[in-house]
A = this chain, B = another copy of it.
Amino acid sequence: MASPSQVRYAGSMAVSTNSEPATSASLLVEEEWLAWPGMHGGRVMALSAGVATGLVDGLPLRAMSTRFLGAVRPGPVEAAAVLDHASRSSATVTVSLSQDGRITTLSTCSFTASTGEIVVPARPAPEVPPAEECNDFREAELLYPFARKLDIRPATDILPLSGASRAELTAWLRLREPESPLSTMLTLADAMPPGVYAVLDMPVPVPSLEISVHLHRPPTTETLLTGWTLAQQRNVQTGAGISIDECDMWDEDGRLVAQSRQLRRVLENGSLT
């Protein structure tokens, strides 16, 4: 759920054409979440998930895919969510965001119950210094305006645009104004600079076409999340018009909380060499 400072939320129940439960909401996107040229993708996911959870009774979100059809501009946004399917222990919700009558993003959200014990534990976090011993990376604000909303502490000596030999960026992240775990995790899942920036000297436009997030620890509480998240963004491959990034995220106790994978376009006027 987005914090009141980010959106105004005016949900209303409706019935969609296929008779499934549906909801709609008028949101307000604030300029401070801008990421050239539109709104930050993770923020779009967080807003959309907030609307989707309104249709699902108590089940935690475990997977979400968002397609970016066009830039989300600051100002009013219409959100529409449809409960595509629900059983006692799982549900699927589709959410669209529209501006001026045009759909800008499409998301699908998969919810399923959390029961039982962990049998196969997830891979541990990389060994890095604690966030308190890492320097704030204010330079990120030069890359994208929304970085002002984040506290970013690189945890290795590989920095964006440092011409490194490996396309991997590792940093501690937190929101400067704490929000709910769900909103925070989805926002942070797309908060790292593109992995390919590690090996570049100059930024290149690599806008996202889509992003898929899997949540290993269900964000079940609506208390604010004030702690640090360790994020490791690995570029899997860049070239031939695309750049595919993977991001793993751990909590302060070293538990894997989420993973994302996203498809970026390499714009034809952007030179990578």
Show the binding face of A for B, using Cβ within 8 Å: 18, 62-63, 65, 67, 69-70, 84-85, 89-90, 92, 94, 103, 106, 108, 110, 112-123, 167, 195-196, 199, 209-210, 212, 214, 216, 218, 235-244, 256, 259, 261, 263, 265-266, 268, 272-273
| Interfacial chain B residues near A108, Cβ < 8 Å | 65, 67, 106, 108, 210
Copies of this chain = 2
Q: Are A209 and B62 in contact (CB under 8 A)?
A: yes
Contacting residue for A120 out of B103, B235, B265, CB 8 A = B235
Query: CA A99 – CA B120 in complex, angstroms?
Result: 36
| Interfacial chain B residues near A67, Cβ < 8 Å | 84, 92, 108, 110
Identify 8 residue pairs between A and B in the complex whose beta-carbon atoms are under 8 Å apart, listed by A's number. A62-B209, A67-B84, A114-B242, A115-B240, A116-B239, A118-B237, A120-B195, A120-B238
Query: CA A165 – CA B268 in complex, angstroms?
Result: 46
From A63, A120, A196, A236, name the one whose CB has the most chain B CB atoms within 10 angstroms. Answer: A120
In chain B, what residue has the closest Cβ to A271?
A: B116
| Interfacial chain B residues near A239, Cβ < 8 Å | 116-121
Q: Are B112 and A212 in contact (CB under 8 A)?
A: no
A103-B84, A236-B256, A238-B118 known; A210-B63 Cβ under 8 A? yes
Q: Are B69 and A112 in contact (CB under 8 A)?
A: no
A237-B122, A259-B261, A261-B212 known; A116-B272 Cβ under 8 A? yes
What's the least CB distance linking A71 to chain B, in Å?
A: 12
Query: CA A85 – CA B106 in complex, angstroms?
Result: 11
Query: CA A41 – CA B273 in complex, angstroms?
Result: 39
Q: Are B244 and A216 in contact (CB under 8 A)?
A: yes
A85-B70, A112-B209 known; A240-B63 Cβ under 8 A? no
| Interfacial chain B residues near A263, Cβ < 8 Å | 62-63, 110, 112, 214
Query: CA A195 – CA B123 in complex, angstroms?
Result: 14
| Interfacial chain B residues near A261, Cβ < 8 Å | 212, 214, 259, 261
